Chains A and B, each alone.
Chain A
Amino acid sequence: MKSKFFPFFVGLVLTLLGYAAYQALVAAPTEETMGDVQRIFYYHVPSAWTAMLLFLVNFCASAVYFFTRSPKADAWALTAAEVGVVFCTVVLITGPIWARPVWGIWWTWDLRLTTTLIMWLLYVSYLLLRRGSEPGSSSTLATVFALSAAVDIPIVWMAIRWINVHTQHPQPVFGNSPNSGLDPHMKVALFTNWFAFMAMAALIFWVRYSLERTTQTVARAFVQRASRGTAAVLGMSTLLFFQSVGRTPDARHIFLISGYAATWIIHISYFVILGRKLAKLQEEQKELKLA
């Protein structure tokens, strides 16, 4: 990365992720009825909030692109959608892993689950459209689609709420109903995790955004250092993950562990894909120089 602030930011994200993992896995009290499986909550909910926020960023950036045609806004929109899909995938996979031991089923057509799934479908098709369209018209078509998708999501929400009344997903913990509310320790763990995941999303966003800008301008030096940064993020968080496992054994731990494993498998696969894109870009660069 070009900025001097980048290594510092990587360090900050690592510290935050480490502290958040400690808060979620060790410091937060064990939930009474669900036991340790409930700890998936500290991954699941922050990922959902982050995904939602990224889709909102996609909408804003698309609107800006629609009026200004600035390539920066386009790179913002693409990056937000792609990172958003990664976080949304984490939500959709950790959700069923939690639901299986707690509800006894992997999936149900509930308001939140269905809306999240449709949101994921919408942004996957946004990415497919970007892939499938010609370089010249790609940005405009994708922007038009992003605006339609953003209009669609509230309608999806209403459609499912009006039509499909039964709901199984836990209600928002910070609502105004008398039974809502969290143990203060859990609240600390939740917000630390949210903050850490937001920071990580910002980091990935940063890397992916500069990758996109680089693709736009084909400048190699930026990307090389960015890839080093992501590798460091990966290494540290994997270490933390393995450290935190291996406490009191419980039959349900398998779900907790697989929830966390799934989260990191998704993030790691995404990093691998980013790395391969980077390698390809470098190759192209070489070829260009030869010619």
Chain B
Amino acid sequence: MSIAALTWANITKDLQLEWRSRDVLNSMLFFALLVVVIFSFSFDFSVDEARRMSGGLIWTAFLFCTVMALNQSWARELKNGVLDAFRVSPAPPEALFLGKCLGNFILVGLLECLMAPLFVLFYNLSSAGSLLQLVLVFVLGTWALVVNGTFFAAMSIRTRNRELMLPLVLFPISIPAVLSMVNATVAILTGDFSPTPSIELLAGYCVVFTTLCFVLFEAVLNAE
């Protein structure tokens, strides 16, 4: 089987499992909703303030939701011994990793599409900059979170405290990505300054860490 076929098999398997139970999606959606509601009555914003703050709020909410989804995606494999099966099979580990990443990307992307109207509604948002750029920031930002998150979740699932470890290793590494996506989002929403440097940095981060994760994934999968 080619890498593409294997990746596809992984994605469809994950999405099918998720579709049958909808455990992760439901809990992620409800969690994101709770975060949005709690934020919006914790801070009493004017329209201008909301624009400046929303970049940070949106990404904080998505970061937490992503962590939730990522932990689940590997925990399921561990329970059923899929990882060991994968290690003894001749399939390249990159296919497994890519499949997981894309599956998580679809899941988190879906969540973002569903949550976007709520953010607009609660914070009275409207964009001063181009919508196309905003979409680009969200695609890049989500990819940065998901590719790193999937990688470090595979790592933390092998530790003693499993779920607890993921945010501890993922958040410090993701700081520059979070910083640039928040900044780009704020720049586009307010139109006060140019989002270009932040978008460039985010794209650079995606390229560097996607490469790094693919190179190192085999070591993580086979760590004994």
Contacts and interface: CB of A to CB of B under 8 A. Distances in A.
A260 B19 CA distance: 60
B223 A137 contact: yes
A66 interface: yes
Contact of B165 (A118, A122, A129, A160): A129
A140 interface: yes
A160 B176 CA distance: 8
Interface string A120-140: 011001001100111011001
Among A141, A156, A158, the one with the most B-chain Cβ atoms within 10 Å of its Cβ is A141
Contacts of B161: 132
Interface stretch (A77-85, A144-152, A195-203): A144-152
A242 interface: no
Interface residues of B, number: 31
B155 interface: yes
A163 B56 CA distance: 14
Contacts of A140: 219-220, 222-224
Contacts of A156: 175-176
B183 interface: yes
B208 interface: yes
Contacts of B204: 155
Q: Taking chain B's interface residues, is the majority helix, strand, or loop, or is none over half, making it mixed?
A: helix
Interface of B: 155-156, 158-161, 164-165, 168-169, 172-173, 175-176, 179-180, 183, 197-198, 201, 204-205, 208-209, 212, 216, 219-220, 222-224
Interface in A146-192: 147-149, 151-152, 155-156, 158-160, 162-163
Contacts of A129: 155-156, 159, 165, 168-169
B179 A159 contact: yes
A136 B198 CA distance: 40
Contact of A144 (B155, B160, B164, B183): B155
B173 A148 contact: yes
Q: Taking chain A's interface residues, is the majority helix, strand, or loop, or is none over half, making it mixed?
A: helix
Interface of A: 66, 118, 121-122, 125, 128-129, 132-134, 136-137, 140-141, 143-145, 147-149, 151-152, 155-156, 158-160, 162-163
Contacts of B197: 162-163
Contacts of B172: 118, 121-122, 125, 149, 152
Contacts of A136: 223-224
Contacts of A128: 165, 168-169
B35 to A, nearest CB: 23
A133 B176 contact: no
A133 B160 contact: yes
Contacts of A134: 158-160
Q: Which 5 A-B pairs have the closest CB atoms?
A: A140-B223, A137-B223, A159-B176, A133-B159, A132-B159
A162 B156 CA distance: 32
B159 A155 contact: no
B167 to A, nearest CB: 9
B155 A145 contact: yes
A20 B41 CA distance: 55
Contacts of A145: 155, 169
Given A132-B159, A155-B176, 20 more contacts: A121-B172, A125-B169, A129-B155, A129-B156, A132-B160, A132-B164, A133-B160, A134-B159, A134-B160, A137-B158, A144-B219, A144-B223, A149-B172, A151-B209, A155-B204, A158-B201, A159-B201, A160-B179, A162-B197, A162-B201
Given A121-B172, A140-B220, A132 B208 contact: no
B145 to A, nearest CB: 14
B179 A122 contact: no
Among A128, A144, A145, A160, the one with the most B-chain Cβ atoms within 10 Å of its Cβ is A144
Nearest to A124: B172
18 contacts: A122-B172, A129-B159, A134-B159, A134-B160, A136-B223, A137-B158, A140-B219, A144-B155, A144-B219, A144-B220, A148-B209, A148-B212, A149-B172, A155-B208, A158-B176, A162-B198, A163-B179, A163-B197
B201 A141 contact: no
Among A66, A134, A163, the one with the most B-chain Cβ atoms within 10 Å of its Cβ is A163
Nearest to B198: A163
B74 to A, nearest CB: 14
